[in-house]
Amino acid sequence: MKKIILISCVLLMAAHAWAEKKNLKITEKVSDLDSGIVVMGTLSDNKFDTMRFKNNSFVYEGFISETSPMVIADDKKRYQIFFADPNSKIEMEVQMQNINVTSIKGSASNDTMRRLTGLQEPMHQAAQQIKQAYQRPGINQDSLSQILGLISQELQRTFKQFIREHAEMEISAFAVYSSLANDRNLNIAFADTLIDMLKGKARSSFYGRECDKLMNKIKAVTKGYMAPDFTLKDSSGKPYTLSKYKGKYVLLDFWASWCGPCKAEIPHMKKAYSAYHDKGFEIISISIDAKEDAWRTALKQFQMPWVHILDVRGEKGSTSDLYHTPSIPKTLLLDKTGLIIDTDLRGPMLEQRLSQLLDN
């Protein structure tokens, strides 16, 4: 009898603890479908629940330790992001056929983020229209470029002002992180300024910490910064350590067997390697192929006489933890100390640069 009572108490305590962990409730009203599938979860930890809704509504309950970007999606992976605060009860209206959140109540952070979107969205639309106008015959492209430059400056000004005014809000950390991750022409100094503006909870939040990690990775592929050291194995299992190549000029080549532009560069790299290897030039090709067989087949096909490494993303020691390479091909030319002196030298540009460095 005592054992039964003890087990019951343990179960009750576990149920109570689970209930305490649920500090977020989202009630959804679906305006365009009576029933269907909805996916909901937090973007930061990529944990999502798939639920079936009926009678035009559903309820999602979960736990978040800090203000978090949430995702609502359908079974076709169309999605929209919104923001939720801990200990909040949110009411939403959504059109599931095109994943359009038409109303959100109960999330102060989402309201704040919408103000930033409201400020910047008209400028983004104007910039897009100007880019489309470039294709029109007889258009003055210099004038359009000047206007785009002014729009870019205003976007930066309003964004910086928003971060300054909301420096301690977690959504600011997410906004900065998204800006860093999506800007192909990132200004390092401006990015450092934005991160330094984050204070308190924003700085210590998940995305505040991710900003630091991402900036380190971005600097690792930027001219004027040192390339981070790594050790990975080649196709025979032999380990290669980047720092052991100090004293040589090294081209780090991020590629994959399925990447057409990567393969188009191989003849140019072969020519450069043949001309300058004996003068102190080395190539380390780092493949991000998910399938090892495809990588090995490509090595046999193209017969590239330099170091080749398969970098399995997600495994410990992966260069994806050190270098920001969201797209390939990506090449970094390092000097004899490991400093990045050039990036993305395409076609004959690599051989021309090596001639400047190694031809007496």
Cα gap 255→325, rounded to integer Å: 10
HSE of 348, CA atoms in CB hemisphere, 13 A = 1
- Taking a C-beta distance cutoff of 8 angstroms, is the pair 73, 79 a contact? yes
> Beta strands of 9-116 (E only): which ranges?
24-30, 36-42, 47-53, 57-62, 68-73, 79-84, 88-95, 100-105
Q: Closest Cα to residue 79, out of 92, 66, 96, 67?
A: 96
Cβ-in-10-Å burial (0-12, 13-18, 19+) of 43 comes to middle
Cα gap 195→197, rounded to integer Å: 5
Instruction: Indicate if the alpha-carbon torsion angle 105, 109, 112, 114 is positive or negative.
Output: negative
Cα gap 63→19, rounded to integer Å: 10
Cα gap 157→154, rounded to integer Å: 5
262 is annotated as an active-site residue: yes
Quote the tokens at residue 268: 């140019």
DSSP 254-298: EE-TT-HHHHHHHHHHHHHHHHHGGGTEEEEEEE--S-HHHHHHH
**Ramachandran angles phi, psi of 179, nearest 5°:** -65, -45
Q: Show which residues are catalytic.
A: 262
